[in-house]
Amino acid sequence: MIGFLGDFDLAEEAAQEAFAVAAERWPSDGTPSNPRAWLVTAARNRAIDRIRRDRTLAAKTPLLEVPEAGEDVVDETTIPDERLELVFTCCHPALALDAQVALTLRTLGGLGTEEIARAFLVPEATMAKRLVRAKAKIKAAGIPFRVPPAHLLPDRLAAVLAVVYLIFNEGYGGRGDLAAEAIRLGRALAELMPDEPEVHGLLALMLVNDARRDARFADGAMVLLRDQDRSLWDLEQIAHGRSAHDRASALGGRGPYVLQAALAILHVEEPPDWPRIAASYGELARLTGSPVVELNQAVAIAETGDVESALAVVERLDLEHYHYLHATRAELLRRLDRLQDARAAYDRALELVHSDAERRFLERRRAELGG
């Protein structure tokens, strides 16, 4: 409907009216043979009525030239699936990232404004304003409703995946409902773009990480992967993650999400192949240039037994304000029996950490050192 009308608000209102009419008529008249087609047609007709009544009729006259289809001619096959165009509109880089996230959850995820506001810990009025502003900009700035042409697609697809992954990570930090929503969006993208390896890579990454969700926290504190209770892992979901990753690999994918999915899978193997994990992090670090990835590589190097080299990597990273850097450094120093330095590093990590679960974890580790 949004694609047909080029107007988010009008589409939403028309759809609501169509559902209201359906709720009134279907119980007495019977459900039509193709409910989806009926609803789309009803919503379109309502929107056209509305526009006709509207004073801006002249500006929107081209719209009225669209033939008014009856239920008999609109069937499932003639209604194009416009969710893909919608994804690219919602995640357009001319919109602020927080607006992209909110619009995606609202229009693709079907979440209410209030739910989104709660998920991102902002007042509902703030979120409502953000959505209104974003919709107004789409209209005023001419943000197109279409899948970008081939030369723009890689960048724009990366923006879409970043939004979904951001939603997932909001959920991964504790709000499980958002993680589930992100996975649902990931599944939809994989269905809509079956030939894009990074889409399958992201889905695989989310599935495998989310499968360990119940094991990541115990008594409100974070649990390290190696200490996790594997009986709490969702093995079926990990298997789904593996097949999504296999599909990405079969498509020749070696992009950042495919590599991260490969790493997530390597991490749940028993016993983990640390040299291979360290090498994969190396590949990902070269691809992304991310010091956070190098930090993870250092952890893997430490697991191979070479704690000194791992510490050397950590100490040359420019991540002074990242609590994981200090937590990792503390852990490595502890293993090297440099307890004084380890305590100082835990203290620095504790100054920077935000999540309560992670704070409790760090406090416990620091207490184990004594002193």
Partner 1 sequence: MRYMLLIHQGTAPTPRSPEEWGRLSEDEQRAVYAAYKAIGETPGVSSGLQLAPAETATTVRVEDGKTLTTDGPFVAIKEALGGYLVFDADDIDAAIELASRIPAAGMGGAVEVRPVVER
Binding site residues, partner 1, CB under 8 A: 92, 94, 140-144, 148, 152
CB of 160 to partner 1, least distance (A): 15
Nearer to partner 1, 142 or 271 (CB): 142
Rounded to the nearest whole angstrom, what is the least distance from the CB of residue 155 to partner 1 in the complex?
A: 11
Task: Return the number of the residue (23 or 58) whose C-beta is nearest partner 1.
Answer: 58
Query: Which residue, 141 or 250, is less far from partner 1 as judged by CB?
Result: 141
SS (H, E, C) the chain: CHHHHCCHHHHHHHHHHHHHHHHHHHHHHCCCCCHHHHHHHHHHHHHHHHHHHCHHHHHHHHHHCCCCCCCCCCCHHHCCCCHHHHHHHHCCCCCCHHHHHHHHHHHHCCCCHHHHHHHCCCCHHHHHHHHHHHHHHHHHCCCCCCCCCCCCHHHHHHHHHHHHHHHHHHHHCCCHHHHHHHHHHHHHHHHHCCCCHHHHHHHHHHHHHHHCHHHHEECCEECCHHHCCHHHCCHHHHHHHHHHHHHHHHCCCCCHHHHHHHHHHHHCCCCCCHHHHHHHHHHHHHHHCCHHHHHHHHHHHHHCCCHHHHHHHHHCCCCCCCHHHHHHHHHHHHHCCCHHHHHHHHHHHHHHCCCHHHHHHHHHHHHHCCC
Record the tokens describing residue 129, joined without a space: 């304003």
Degrees to nearest 5, angle at CA 265 with 172 and 184 = 45
> Least distance in Å: CB of 150 to partner 1?
13
Quick one: 73 or 141, whose CB is closer to partner 1?
141
> Toward partner 1, which CB reaches closer, 58 or 121?
58
Please identify, using beta-carbon distances, which residue of 123 and 144 lies nearer to partner 1: 144
The distance of closest approach from Cβ of residue 342 to partner 1 in the complex, given in angstroms and rounded to an integer, is 45
Compute the distance between CA of residue 54 and CA of residue 68 in angstroms, rounded to an integer.
18
Nearest CB to partner 1, comparing residues 96 and 141? 141
Name the residue nearer to partner 1 (CB basis): 92 or 329. Answer: 92
Q: How far is the CB of 301 from partner 1 (least distance, A)?
A: 39
Work out how close the CB of 154 gets to partner 1 at its nearest, in angstroms, rounded to a whole number: 14
In the complex, least distance from residue 138 CB atom to partner 1, rounded to whole angstroms: 9
CB count in 10 Å sphere of residue 323: 19
User: What's the closest the beta carbon of residue 144 comes to partner 1, in angstroms?
Assistant: 4
